[in-house]
A and B are shown apart, each in its own frame.
Chain A
Amino acid sequence: MMQLAVTQLGIEIPYWGQSLLRVLGGLVAVLLPAGTIVYLFLFKMMSFMQSRLGPMEAGPYGSLQLVAEVGKWMQKEDLAPEAADKSIFKIAPLVVLLSTFLLVVVIPFGPDALFTDFEVGIFYGLAVASVSVLGILIAGWASANKYSLLGGLRAAGQLIAYELPMVLATIGVVIQAGSMNLQNIVVAQNTGEIFGWGGIGNPYIFTQFIGFLIFMIAVQAELTQAPFDMPIAESELVSGYMTEYSGFRFLIFFIAEFATAGVFALIASVLFLGGWGIPFDWFGWTTIDSVDNWMNIVGPLIMFTKMLVLTFIIMWVRFSFPRFREDQLQTFAWKVLIPLALANTALTAILKVVF
């Protein structure tokens, strides 16, 4: 983003201006998908799947419902239980949201539209994604409530169990692309060929389809969306680790949940669907440096579209399936997903060496 402004438009932006732009860009990249997901899928798609219309009063077709909800939450009292560990109780939602913001930093939205260009981008991304486990665990423990504690422990067990298949599923992509840098992964997919045919590049969803499936299932579990919503199982744990939260802090948990859904969908689209790129052959580009500048505008739109498609699948599954039991959930991760992901990794490695 900054390089674009400086080198192409010839504008000199001071360091504080760049930082401000980065912060604003990060806010947009986190909050815009979250708002879109909540309105489009949580409010509307879920309602339609249950043969009702959803919010219709606030704004045309209820489009301002989210504003109304945020306003409602902001006015509520910021309660903390008497026995709670107050300071930790209060920072827990912020830790969860923080991990989302740390995560969005590595995602490339275009040839120059990116926040940072880490060499080990995906490694960093998976590492900071697990920070949210800490937030959830301390939220559950600091609430001094047995429902919260159970929910927090369930969440911790679940997130750790599903982190492994997620990491192992990305290893296949990393092996194939030969890089951990997300930008390089995008370039590798868009310059790749399928058996010598480069018409649509080589999005890894074809070669890494098992990896893609495992990744999406793991994402579903990481987001604690149904059928993996054991930690917040409302029929038995009230609301799990969020039980004692109200008002603004509950809002932050809520934003974090859906913003993380968006960010994980963005990462999945980078890893498996070719990210911001269109096959470089179409316009005669060869390397990242020869990509035309307008991709910095079109790229984010492509990313946004892919994000919507993937979150549609996540939400569709969420609204369709009933909840796993706790033991089924753990069994599925350790006995099915992890062996499958390991086999996928091994197979990818062998094929990479052979070809």
Chain B
Amino acid sequence: MPEKPKVPGLFKGLGVTLGILKDTVVDGANTVQYPHEKEAPPVRARGVIALHEDNCTACMLCARSCPDWCIYIEGHKQLAPPRRAGGKPRQVNHLDRFDIDYALCMYCGICVEVCPFDALFWSPEYEYSEPKIADLLHDKEKLGEWMETVPEAPELEAGAQKK
């Protein structure tokens, strides 16, 4: 392979910036003009946490594992009809309040990891800024609405064990 002619580093550096200038003029910039056009975040991006309320048992694991203490849960015990005819009524936890304060949340995702009942999900949605900081406290209705934006779980790898 013939050796390339040596270019002094100074001129090489100038060439790099000029090359990028040319690329930007010809192909456009790498950046996105945000309010006019939106960037599609990756499917697994950590945008906002969604709550699937039916799965939640108010076990408090997420609230206790949260490093910022930004999850507020209140619940009460109540009797539910028996599963089989003739059985005893079951005692279940009913969720009264489930709030996540996104002003405190640091998006570590421990709550999603720790939830044993698949009640919390990551959603890539990121546009929920508010003029007032108190409005960043999302209640369980709002957290439930985020469920619509949660992408489908990806296919398991071939050979993966499903429990």
Residues of A within 8 A of B (CB): 45, 47-53, 56, 316-317, 319-321
Contacts and interface: CB of A to CB of B under 8 A. Distances in A.
28 contacts: A47-B24, A47-B29, A48-B24, A48-B25, A48-B29, A49-B17, A49-B18, A49-B21, A49-B24, A50-B20, A51-B24, A51-B29, A51-B31, A52-B24, A52-B29, A52-B31, A53-B29, A53-B31, A53-B33, A316-B14, A316-B18, A317-B14, A319-B17, A320-B13, A320-B14, A320-B16, A321-B10, A321-B13
Nearest to A53: B29
B30 interface: yes
A48 B20 contact: yes
Contacts of B25: 48
Contacts of A49: 17-18, 20-21, 24
Residue among B18, B21, B23, B29 with the most chain A CB within 10 A? B21
Residue among A47, A51, A56 with the most chain B CB within 10 A? A51
B29 A316 contact: no
The secondary structure that dominates the A interface is helix
Given A51-B23, A317-B14, A320-B16, 20 more contacts: A47-B24, A47-B29, A48-B21, A48-B24, A48-B25, A49-B17, A49-B18, A49-B20, A49-B21, A50-B20, A51-B20, A51-B29, A52-B30, A53-B31, A56-B33, A316-B18, A320-B13, A320-B14, A320-B17, A321-B13
Residue among B13, B17, B33 with the most chain A CB within 10 A? B17
A56 to B, nearest CB: 6
Given A51-B23, A51-B24, A316 B17 contact: yes
A51 B25 CA distance: 9
A211 to B, nearest CB: 19
Nearest to A56: B33
Nearest to B30: A51
Contact of B21 (A45, A53, A56, A317): A45
Contacts of A50: 20
A117 B148 CA distance: 76
Contacts of A319: 17
